[in-house]
Structure 1
Amino acid sequence: MSEQQWTAVDDYLAEALVGEDEALTAALVQSEKAGLPAIAVSPTQGKLLQLLALTVGARRILEIGSLGGYSAIWMGRALPADGRLISLELSPAHAAVARANLHEAGLERVAEVRTGRASDSLAELVDDGAEPFDLVFIDADKPSIPEYLEWSVKLTRPGSLIVVDNVVRGGKIADAESDDPSVVGIRRMHRAVAADPRLEATAVQTVGAKGYDGFTLIRVGG
């Protein structure tokens, strides 16, 4: 099978199960106009994040890596009226696009985009005694993933879910000798998950419009 066929199947699944959505389509268009990289999650992946949020009854969601706010719109729609989504973004330009897209989607009251180094923002959340998050979506620089995981565990509760995106790297993750910083970071993260008795996890390989990759799903225990 080719990537062209993977994309065709993704398009079919999105049409059959997800459908068209004006606000989400507009978010992608505005992100492209602003020159953001075309690396947002696919519609089917976005719907998966939304369903996970609904399944755990999420009231608070943390996202590490806003990009243009596309995934935040998916997750934000799963929140109750008094829910809260905090999205962390390094780039002020990306953050501005994300805020505008969240506003256009009608989520400005529940969603907030904070700008700066994610590690600093995460430390501030811990120092401020932030209420635990029910779902964390990590979609940021892979060399720092082990650090983001450590902070995320501190900011969650038993029963919370942590989703880490782009963990397969086109199959490179299987190469124990790789010196690719992203591969090294993800392998370190997996070792940390396996060594932590509070965490249970699995990983799923995916193919589709975003090529060959995958995600790791982690459940926080007691």
Structure 2
Amino acid sequence: MEDELRDPKNFLEYFLPRPLRLAFFGGSAASCLIASLITAVQLIQSPALELAEGTTARDLIVNIIGLATFTGLFIYDQKQAAVRVERRREIREAQIAFGDREVFVNDQGEKMSRLKEVNDDWIVRRLERWGKRDGMPFVGPDKGALLQQLVADKAPRLVVEVGTMAGYSALLMAQALPPGGRIVTFEKDLSWALAAKRFMWQASQGEKNQGVSSRVGDRVSVEWGDAREKLAGVLQRAGGPGCIDLLFLDGTPKEYLDYLRAAEPFLAPGALVVADNAGVFAQGGLKPYLEYVRGGSGGKYRSELIACKLEWRDDVDDGIEVSTWLGSGSGSGSGAAVEGSKAASGVA
């Protein structure tokens, strides 16, 4: 994965790597030098004859030009090698700072470094750097901690997520799942669905040789398609009515209510329904959804807002709406999950 550490930086360099280039430039320069010496000796021995014919003088000029050209290319490539070594050093230091590379002492007492295994933590860190740098609409580490606390408290057997994107929140929830727990996540954008599948596969590599039967990425199933259309069919196969213990909504805000209604037949008694961006979109796309879970459903839900900040923006207030499904039972245990999550986040 570390493309930045590869020597080739363009298409040509894959076919003519530096050792071969240096050998070619050095050999060509040496050949031009020898030819220049030979033609120079010929001119010295028979200057009148050689100048009259003109070929030796022309050959001497061509060989001198070739010698200068190949010598210059050889020196330039050597300098570029030094630049590349310095660039690698900078990358190693950045990777150590990011936590992607670890420093160790080998058997000979030499201080060295190596890339850490690509696993779920590695992928989460990479996605967080990407999200912070480009302002990607991932839930971010603060909301992610709240989400993980809800999952840990609820200990769901099945989590359903709508709005996978790169799979950041799915990975965080998968890390907090109890043994045997799993996540089904829906993404209607094909490019994001494929990206999430790739990240899930990478998140399962680090523990491959440790005999772990359920690696983090393996706990997540990424479904491509509109959840409003595909959710019922997928969940009928996944467990049928009453199989969802926690539903996380993070797709298109104006479609949240449609997602919820599609999922209601599959909510287990006391299931948690968690909706992201319930602060920033409270008076916009999420208004019908919030009205529904806060009383418009006829008492099917007990709901409250957990205040937090918008991802990557400490200056923008946001929140997640946590609703307990009461349609098929009291769900008394879920209130404790909400309180535990509020305590973990420092919310009064």
| Aligned match of 1:186 | 286
CA distance in 2, matches of 1:117, 1:50: 25
Confirm or deny: 8 A CA contact 2:171 2:217 kept in the other structure: no
Residue from 266, 280, 296 that aligns with 1:195: 296
Q: Which has the higher helix share?
A: 2
Do the aligned partners of residues 102 and 30 (structure 1) sit closer, same or farther apart at CA in structure 2, a change above 3 Å counting?
farther
The code of the aligned residue for 1:205 comes to: A
Do the aligned partners of residues 32 and 42 (structure 1) sit closer, same or farther apart at CA in structure 2, a change above 3 Å counting?
closer
| Aligned match of 2:123 | 23
Q: Write the mapping of 1:47-58 to structure 2, written as runs, cut at 5 A.
A: 47-58=145-156
Unmatched 5+ stretches in structure 1: 1-20, 175-182
CA distance in 1, matches of 2:127, 2:197: 10
Identical positions, percent: 25
Q: Which has the higher strand share?
A: 1
| Aligned match of 1:13 | none
CA distance in 2, matches of 1:45, 1:115: 25
**How far is the alpha carbon of 1:50 from its aligned partner?**
1.1
CA distance in 2, matches of 1:31, 1:168: 20
| Aligned match of 2:250 | 139
The code of the aligned residue for 2:282 comes to: I
- Please give the TM-score of this superposition, normalised by the length of structure 2: 0.50
**How far is the alpha carbon of 1:26 from its aligned partner?**
2.1
Do the aligned partners of residues 37 and 103 (structure 1) sit closer, same or farther apart at CA in structure 2, a change above 3 Å counting?
farther
Deviates more, 1:66-75 or 1:102-111: 102-111
Confirm or deny: 8 A CA contact 1:84 1:111 kept in the other structure: yes
Larger Rg: 2
Deviations 1:58-112 (A, max 9, x none): 1111100001011001001122342210010011111111111122222332111
| Aligned match of 2:321 | 216
Q: Secondary structure at the match of 1:163?
A: strand
Confirm or deny: 8 A CA contact 1:30 1:97 kept in the other structure: no
Confirm or deny: 8 A CA contact 2:128 2:140 kept in the other structure: no
Aligned length: 189
Confirm or deny: 8 A CA contact 1:81 1:110 kept in the other structure: no
Confirm or deny: 8 A CA contact 1:136 1:162 kept in the other structure: yes
Q: Write the mapping of 1:9-48 to structure 2, written as runs, cut at 5 A.
A: 21-28=121-128, 38-48=136-146
> Does residue 1:67 correspond to 2:165, yes or no?
yes
Q: Secondary structure at the match of 1:166?
A: coil
**How far is the alpha carbon of 1:28 from its aligned partner?**
4.0
The code of the aligned residue for 2:184 comes to: I
CA distance in 2, matches of 1:139, 1:159: 20
**How far is the alpha carbon of 1:123 from its aligned partner?**
2.6
> Does residue 1:113 correspond to 2:225, yes or no?
no
Unmatched 5+ stretches in structure 2: 1-120, 205-215, 330-348
The code of the aligned residue for 2:127 comes to: A
Deviates more, 1:68-77 or 1:198-207: 198-207
**How far is the alpha carbon of 1:167 from its aligned partner?**
1.7
Do the aligned partners of residues 37 and 120 (structure 1) sit closer, same or farther apart at CA in structure 2, a change above 3 Å counting?
farther
Confirm or deny: 8 A CA contact 2:303 2:321 kept in the other structure: yes
The code of the aligned residue for 1:219 comes to: T
Deviations 1:136-195 (A, max 9, x none): 1100001111111212322211121110001222xx635xxxxxxxx1x41111222112
Q: Secondary structure at the match of 2:165?
A: coil
| Aligned match of 2:264 | 153
**How far is the alpha carbon of 1:130 from its aligned partner?**
5.7
- Please give the TM-score of this superposition, normalised by the length of structure 1: 0.76
The code of the aligned residue for 1:41 comes to: V
Do the aligned partners of residues 166 and 85 (structure 1) sit closer, same or farther apart at CA in structure 2, a change above 3 Å counting?
same
